[in-house]
Amino acid sequence: MSTIGYDSWAVDLAEVGAVYPFQGSEGLMVVLGVVFWIAWHRIQFVREGAHLEKAKQMGDKDKINSLLEKY
Amino acid sequence: MDGNLNALTTVFTEFYYWVTVVFMFLIHVGFCMYEVGASRHRNHMHTLMKNIMIIPLVTVTFFFFGWWIYWAFPNFPFFGGLNHEAAAANLPWSQNMATNLSDRITGVFWAAFLLFSWTAASIVSGAVIERIRSSALWVHAVMIGSVFWIIDAAWGWHAEGWMVKYLGYHDAYASGVIHAIAGGYALGVIMVLGPRLGKFAADGTPRDIPPHNPWMLTIGIFLIYSGFWGFYAACNIPVISPEGIGGLLTGDTWTATNIYLAPTSLSAITFNFLMSLSGGLMAAYVVSKGDAFWTFSGGLAGIITASAGNDLYHPIQAMLVGAVGVVIVYKLHYWVERRFKLDDAVGAVAVHGYSGIVGLILAGFLLWGAPSSPYEGYATVNPVGQTIGAVIMFGVLGWLPGFLIAKMQAAAGVLRIPVEVELQGLDYAEHHAYEEAKAEIIAADKAALNGGSVPAE
């Protein structure tokens, strides 16, 4: 039994379509993919929020002034 | 070429490989830029020259014996003798290895493999910057580029290779064949070479040595992505008839095939290349907490992890495989660095080696039972075969020779540059010659300005 649905390539290609593993689970794969994508945004939003909060406290006025001068 | 259809197919194939080779050249441009960007100013030119000279050295040795190994070694030494018949046409004195209008493919196919050889050597080059002698690195470049990687290609990337036949080894776009071996080789060398001065604090805590030029580094990795895309195409045979591959497929539909002559398409691998790149970038951004260089490298690691099965994966599988691989690789890199005090200057062992291993093992599970080749009687893809394959690629053909050759070089005192030179920088002598020449010219110009002698017009 093969995950791609073929045990041999001795086939007529005119009759071959999809060859990826776990055919029939495309809906589930899309769900997993979308979860990965949405989770990425969530993690990134939270991380960036925490980072900006920390960064707010870091700036020394003189150093910021010199940065502004630098353009 | 008898008949116009054959002529058209041959000329198309010739042109196809020629285009992929030109794209793959970008990988080497990218590696040069990345290495120079990652090194410090005082080692700039040395780093660049170290990587540039890989090109001629690996090219000539690949012409003399590397290409012959690929054709002679598929079953040697464990499952048969040398294949002298196939190899004869690829000896450096064969008429096929020259301008020859009855063979339009050998040159471009040879070049496609040669560019892989440069890549294998260049991966090692990145790990050892700022402390290895050029002469030592160039011996390693020849050994991995024209000997060890091409043995692994004969065993695991040739349609009749014993690993494909008996292990069901499947590595269509070279997770193991290029990347695991080069990562393993780099690990062997850096274990002997030792870290750059200052890399570790007295208590063993690793320090980050930031790149001197982030722009160059970024453009470098984007060029590597571009070349890698060309590399994917170079791993395919573009058009072939069932009759042309010995009737291994039935019916009369022509197809592109992967390196094992199993059917695939540029469409399939384009989906999967881009989705694995994306999965790698996204996962690396998260796991590295937004570190720019690890994010870029993570894109590369994502592709490498998915490469073993990227002819057969669904694009979402490719994306998730790329993402999972990057998380493992990132964690493993820092664990090894802390635990064993190893300095891998550009993360080459992780991005290429660990990704390659993870990619091979995952493919064994995801493609379990799939035919590794269209030849009858070959083992099908399976987790055990892929894991043994990973050990052979990373450990036996990569780590072991890298470690042993580096040990011999260290014993002979020709591996590492002297501490004094490392401190002043490898470009010190050239820099001083430049400064002296500059000072002399400025003095001459000033003398001319103040009414001194001027050259005759």
The partner residue sitting opposite B316, judged by closest CB among A12, A13, A30, is A30
Q: In terms of CA atoms, which chain B residue is nearest residue A13?
A: B253
Confidence at B368, pLDDT banded by 50, 70, 90: very high
Label residue A50 exposed, middle or buried (CB < 10 Å: 0-12, 13-18, 19+).
Answer: exposed
The answer to whether B279 contacts A15, with C-beta atoms less than 8 Å apart, is no
Note whether B314 contacts A: Cβ–Cβ < 8 A: yes
State how far the Cα of B21 lies from the Cα of B30, in Å rounded to an integer.
15
Confidence at B70, pLDDT banded by 50, 70, 90: very high
Count Cα neighbours of B365 within 13 Å in the Cβ-side half-sphere: 7
* Mean pLDDT of all residues in B401-416: 98
The partner residue sitting opposite A10, judged by closest CB among B250, B285, B380, is B250
Q: Which two tokens stand for residue B375?
A: 């030849």
% pLDDT > 90, chain B = 91
| Model confidence pLDDT, tens digit, residues B259-305 | 999 999 999 999 999 999 999 999 999 999 999 999 999 999 999 99
What strand order describes the sheet that includes B237-240? B237-240, B255-257, B263-264
Q: Which two tokens stand for residue B426?
A: 């490898």
Reply yes or no on whether the pLDDT at A58 is more than 90: no
- pLDDT at residue number A70: 80
Question: Smallest CA–CA separation between A8 and chain B, in Å?
Answer: 5
A·B CB contacts under 8 A: 94
Reply yes or no on whether the pLDDT at B217 is more than 60: yes
Q: In terms of CA atoms, which chain B residue is nearest residue A1?
A: B369
* Mean pLDDT of all residues in B161-171: 98
Kindly report the average pLDDT of chain B as a whole number: 95
Confidence at A38, pLDDT banded by 50, 70, 90: very high
For residue A44, the chain B residues in CB contact (below 8 A) are 285-286
Question: Smallest CA–CA separation between B83 and chain A, in Å?
Answer: 25
Confidence at A71, pLDDT banded by 50, 70, 90: confident
Listing DSSP states for A26-54 in one string gives HHHHHHHHHHHHHHHHHHHHHHHHHHHHH
Q: In terms of CA atoms, which chain A residue is nearest residue B282?
A: A40
Confidence at B456, pLDDT banded by 50, 70, 90: low
Q: In terms of CA atoms, which chain A residue is nearest residue B263?
A: A9
Confidence at B1, pLDDT banded by 50, 70, 90: low
> Residue B380: helix, strand or coil by DSSP?
strand
**Helical axes B181-193 vs B400-411, angle rounded to 10°:** 30
Reply yes or no on whether the pLDDT at B453 is more than 70: no
For residue A8, the chain B residues in CB contact (below 8 A) are 371, 374, 376
State how far the Cα of B37 lies from the Cα of B71, in Å rounded to an integer.
38
